[in-house]
Amino acid sequence: MLQYRRFFSFLIAFFLFFAALDSTPAHSQPAKKMEVHFINVGQGDSIVVKTPNGKTILIDGGSPKAGKKVVKYLKELGVEKIDLLIATHPDRDHIGGLPAVMKEFKVTKILDSGKLHITRAYANYMNEVRKQEIPLVVAKEGENISIDSLIDFRILNAYGKRKNNNQSSIALKLSYNDIDFLFLGDIEDEQEEKVAKKYDVRAEIIKIAHHGSKTSSSEKFLEIVEPDVAIITYSKYNDYGHPVNRVIKKLFDLETNIFSTAVYGDLVVHTEGENYLIYPQKTPLHGLLESK
């Protein structure tokens, strides 16, 4: 029942959003739109950002079997090239689908965590980078990513010698005027604590770290972020127990609207920098009844 209430609250927001647009003075220039797509790749991450000035950013590509879906999704969006590809960390559920993407699209630049991993998925990823001769840079914490003058895109967490793959995840804050997104990869609570001490992590929309795992999303961190919307990427039938009850309960306590790719399928956020709309592919009922 709570899921339905939350779903219908967004329908109300939908109408309020367009009412606000209709009230814009005729002489004013309409704001450019930004889209953030959370692709349902099952147990894994793949996020597409279409910036206000038309740049395309791809954050992760899901597992190897998800590569075809990511390619298809990008083509349906009309993407011809990827201006920035971000590989948050070398786990197969984040970089496994990227070779398929690199084979189909011109990639201008790759931002990588710098963490090495001895797996077939990682070898395939790096081999394709070398084959395509794509410029690759290692992320550095605190740096701004210059890709679109209308957005602020900052790296909050990056590689560390004593960090494991998840702890080395590239964590990002994307801001377009009044609307902020947090993309946290698979960072753990220790990194969340450090990030919160150094940066302003308040955000309207958060991509929950590590698929809602017990290692991340501490109560203190979520209280600081105070998100309106939490997006969790996972498969209904994963073997890891994602997401854990503690994370869900805390989000409910904060009155955060929860959307998951497991229940809603692909999720798209539209924003003009002041308001936002979330378009789910499925209703909660469809998402719960369908098998993956």
Q: How far apart are CA 238 and CA 159, in angstroms?
A: 27
pLDDT tens digits for range 5-23: 444 455 445 444 444 444 4
pLDDT tens digits for range 219-234: 999 999 999 999 999 9
Residue 48 has pLDDT above 70, yes or no: yes
pLDDT bracket for residue 96 (50, 70, 90): very high
- Residue 65, classified by CB atoms within 10 Å of its CB into exposed (0-12), middle (13-18) or buried (19+), is middle
Query: What average pLDDT does range 226-250 have in this prediction?
Result: 88
Highest mean pLDDT (candidates 1-5, 74-78, 284-288): 74-78
Is the backbone peptide bond immediately before 280 cis, with ω within 30 degrees of 0? Answer: no
pLDDT of 23 reads 44
Q: Quick one: CATH architecture of 2-17+33-289?
A: 4-Layer Sandwich (3.60)
pLDDT tens digits for range 104-157: 999 999 999 999 999 999 999 999 999 999 999 999 999 999 999 999 999 999
pLDDT of 18 reads 47
pLDDT of 24 reads 46
pLDDT tens digits for range 170-214: 999 999 999 999 999 999 999 999 999 999 999 999 999 988 888
pLDDT of 22 reads 45
Q: How many residues in the chain?
A: 292
pLDDT of 211 reads 86
What is the pTM assigned to this prediction? 0.88
pLDDT of 28 reads 59
Give the distance from CA 43 to its chain's centroid.
13
Sign of the torsion angle spanned by Cα atoms 94, 99, 103, 109? positive
